[in-house]
Structure 1
Amino acid sequence: MKRRMLGSAGLGLAVALLITGCGAGQITQTDTQEAAINGASAQAGTIAIRDAELAFPEGIQPPAYLQGSNAEVFMSIVNQGGRVDELVSASSDAATNVTIQGERSLPGGASLAISPAAPTAGRQLHGEIVIEGLRRELRPGQTIVATLNFRDAGAVEVELPIMSPHEPRTSGGQGEGGH
């Protein structure tokens, strides 16, 4: 009787292991999920680029960057390594020039906030990047590629989308349903 119970228990355990092992090594739904942010991410060695995007174009309807205009860049650059690295240059085929101002040196374990205005909280490093002289009109939903060159980490391409507006979207005079 004990042998039969042990045999049944062993068989049940083997079936349970077989069933749970069937999913091992399979592609899961979460393996390709991205963070729920609008900006792009990129990596070059120990340098991580996070939430990279262009400022939302203000003052023109419909919103757009006109050919020849400038666009300000927002992003966080994080040095995940232990050694100091430096943002040496930036470029884009979509513009005539890319300028960098402010802090360029990035100590190990530190982050550099790239934005038009310095961060108000903490002692975060701050720099500015401006895409100058866009070669084409650029509207929300479109992107441009910028290349950032670091002294040690090398070059990294970042696809820059236009950020979402800060103001909520209105119905455009089409009533409450927005039809």
Structure 2
Amino acid sequence: MSSAEQNLITRLRLLPVVLGIGAAVLASGCSAGQITQTDTQVPAVNGSMGTVKQIAVRDVQLAFPAGKTYFSKGESASLLLTIANSGDATDKLVAVSSPQFGSGAQIVGDASIPGFHAISATATAVTPVSTTSPTATSTTGTSTTGTSTTGTSTTGTSTTGTSTTGTSTTGTSASTTVTTTTSAPELPIGSIQIQLVGLTADKLLPGQTVQVTFTFANAGDLTLNVPIAATPHPRDDK
């Protein structure tokens, strides 16, 4: 047998060994490291999610509009979400705002989140209170001394139940969006309701998102792009 034939037989005998080693390397590469199929997977939910410090906000959605397929200008929308606190100290959701809802937000219930606990927000039909509207004040060249006014308006300024003594304000202007927190003893422990008030666009359709900022007492701000939840009604295939 020639040397060339011997070399060919040797290579053929080593081929299964080489193939086996290569298969083992590929298998180990698919199950570990940064190229795994699971390193970029996210939870199978429709809503947005984000984390700020020890606070995690999960599955944030706008509740599907009742009795219609979109939100109209001026309407309110309920937020659906879960807030989890992975820290030791209690935190609290103190404000919610959105540039697409010009009249602020209304939080109903106790929005405190104890350490290693979670709370959830469910849909609400609560009527927005008047204090959720933006408050704009402008006073020019006025002076009030020892007066008390209730429900009066002067030069674009509205004052309710306030008392001012010896003050003078010239050329000032302020605009504030208020988040109103309302107690609701009927809500279960760990459950709140959040309502964005006063849609500024003509329509808000499924598939569109709105920017919502959540402000926590300790963790700070978290801003998310929030979609509309899927319709609860069954699809008509006819």
Aligned to 1:46: 54
How many residue pairs were aligned? 158
Shift of 1:19: 4.7
Q: Which of 87, 91, 108 is residue 85 of structure 1 equivalent to?
A: 91
The correspondence of residues 12-161 of structure 1 with structure 2, limited to 5 A, is 15=21, 18-20=25-27, 22=29, 25-60=33-68, 63-96=69-102, 97-116=104-123, 124-136=189-201, 137-161=203-227
Partner of 1:41: helix, strand, or coil? Answer: strand
Q: Partners of 1:133 and 1:167 in 2: how far apart?
A: 25
What is the match of residue 4 of structure 1? none
Gaps of 5+ in 1: 1-7
**What is the CA-CA distance between 1:43 and the residue it aligns to?**
0.6
Q: CA deviation at 1:21?
A: 5.5
| TM-score for the superposition, normalised by structure 1 | 0.77
Give the drift of 1:27. Answer: 2.6
Q: Aligned residue for 1:166?
A: 232
User: 1:113 touches 1:124 (CA, 8 Å); kept in 2?
Assistant: no
Return 5+ residue gaps in structure 2 as ranges. 1-13, 125-183
Relative to structure 1, the CA distance from residue 89 to residue 64 in structure 2 (aligned partners, 3 Å threshold; closer, same or farther) is same
Partner AA of 1:130 in structure 2: Q
Deviation at 1:25, TM superposition (A): 3.8
1:29-86 residue CA offsets vs partner (Å, 9 max, x unmatched): 32222211111111111111111101101222xx000111100111111111111011
Q: Go from structure 1 to structure 2 and tell me whether the alpha carbon gap of 1:39 and 1:22 turns closer, same or farther (over 3 Å shift).
A: closer
Provide the secondary structure at the position in 1 that maps to 2:204: coil
CA offset digits 1:114-137 (Å, max 9, x no partner): 11369x9xx641211111111111
Letter in 1 for 2:38: T
Cα distance between partner residues in 1 of 2:115 and 2:48? 22
- In structure 2, C-alpha distance between the alignment counterparts of 1:99 and 1:84, rounded to whole Å: 21
Could you tell me how far apart the structure 2 residues matched to 1:18 and 1:54 are? 47
Structure 1 pair 33–169 and aligned structure 2 pair: CA distance change class (3 A):
same
Task: Decide whether aligned partners of structure 1 residues 161 and 21 sit closer, same or farther in structure 2, where only a CA change above 3 A counts.
Answer: same
User: For the residues of structure 2 that align with 1:102 and 1:43, how far apart are their CA atoms?
Assistant: 22
User: Cα RMSD between the aligned structures?
Assistant: 2.6
The one-letter code sitting in structure 1 at the alignment partner of 2:36 is T
Q: Which amino acid aligns with 1:43?
A: T
Percent identity over the alignment is 35
Could you tell which deviates more after superposition, 23-32 or 137-146?
23-32
